[in-house]
Amino acid sequence: MSEHRPLRSYGRTKARTLKPRQAGLVETLLPHLALDLSKEIDVRLPAPLRGGAGGGGSGGDLSGEPAARTPISDSAPQGGGESLDASPLVLEIGFGGGEHLVAQAAAQPHAHFIGVEPFLNGVASCLRHIEESGVTNVRLHHGDARDVLARLPDASLDRVDILFPDPWPKKRHWKRRLIQPEFVSELARAVKPGGEVHFATDWANYAAWTLEVFARAPYFAWTAERAADWRTPWPGHVTTRYEQKRLGDCAPVWLRFARLA
């Protein structure tokens, strides 16, 4: 990683005091699910040291129908019949309260999921969802997603979900936005050819900003063919609490970018 830390792309990291149950999960469960960033991340992500079987999700294909790669769908082998090395790997950056992340993991028990969130209260909420659902295919990092990305092997990710990141709406703060040319280049290194980046925002300027940054990079292609492609969520999307609040200045914009070979 660079010797100079990049500008922080997120706001606060903690709000109200955690409830006793949440604090307990942070103390006892998080250490078993936390990534070890002292070395390259092992994408096989073995099961954590705790009980529980794959939870009962809603099912359905959550891959957004990507091409030229192993789809993340319920039709793929599940359980011990599939090699861990062949399991799809999904990174969700800024998972908020964890509703989307855990629902995806429960519906796709054959895939591996990594969730990153700097907000401690969100991490605690996600841990509660993990415990209640019983999913065992999720790993977490409480901190900066760029640190996780730097520790992932080349071409290891099948999909990256970036849902409603901090928009930094004031022009003087745009340099703090997560989507920057350097970040997109690092995504290109870690995402497999044919893999996808899913980005959603309810700020019009951030949507335009993201399209411009990706358009200038030679690594990705915007997959939209008609207006409905960016006006409606991709298949399998799970609505989050933040999304329901409608805090932005426009209806949600849904962008999909495919990694070029």
pLDDT in tens, 7-26: 555 555 556 788 899 899 99
Helix (H) or strand (E) holding 103: helix 99-107
Catalytic annotation on 166?
A: yes
Give domain status of residue 116, yes or no: yes
Query: Which residues make Cβ contacts (< 8 Å) with residue 11, sequence separation at least 6?
Result: 166
Which one of the listed residues 144, 158, 166, 202 is annotated catalytic?
Answer: 166
* Per-residue DSSP letter, 46: P
Residue type, 84: L
Find the radius of gyration of the CA atoms of the chain: 17
Query: What are the start-end ranges of the E strands in 74-219?
Result: 89-93, 112-116, 138-141, 157-163, 191-201
180: its two tokens = 């920057």
| Whole-angstrom distance, CA of residue 108 vs CA of residue 76 | 9
Give domain status of residue 67, yes or no: no
Question: Taking the chain, what is the end-to-end CA distance rounded to the nearest angstrom?
Answer: 25
Bridge partners, 89 (sequence order): 112
Bridge partners, 157 (sequence order): 191
Give domain status of residue 16, yes or no: no
Give domain status of residue 244, yes or no: yes
Count of structural domains, the chain:
1
Query: Which residues make Cβ contacts (< 8 Å) with residue 127, sequence separation at least 6?
Result: 22, 25, 26, 29, 30, 33, 98, 140
**How high is the pLDDT of residue 46?**
62
**How high is the pLDDT of residue 229?**
97
| Whole-angstrom distance, CA of residue 233 vs CA of residue 41 | 30
Give domain status of residue 227, yes or no: yes
- CATH code at position 163: 3.40.50.150
The residue segments making up the domain with residue 130 are 55-62+80-259
Q: Which residues of the chain have pLDDT under 70?
A: 1-15, 46-85
**How high is the pLDDT of residue 150?**
96
**How high is the pLDDT of residue 191?**
98
| Whole-angstrom distance, CA of residue 77 vs CA of residue 83 | 9
Query: Smallest Cα–Cα separation from 148: which of 123, 122, 115?
Result: 115
**How high is the pLDDT of residue 5?**
62
Give domain status of residue 72, yes or no: no
**How high is the pLDDT of residue 159?**
98
CA atoms lying within 13 Å on the CB side of residue 190: 25
Helix (H) or strand (E) holding 132: helix 120-133
Give domain status of residue 50, yes or no: no
Query: Smallest Cα–Cα separation from 182: which of 55, 7, 51, 48?
Result: 7
Only one residue has tokens 């250490």, namely 31
| Whole-angstrom distance, CA of residue 163 vs CA of residue 93 | 7
Give domain status of residue 18, yes or no: no
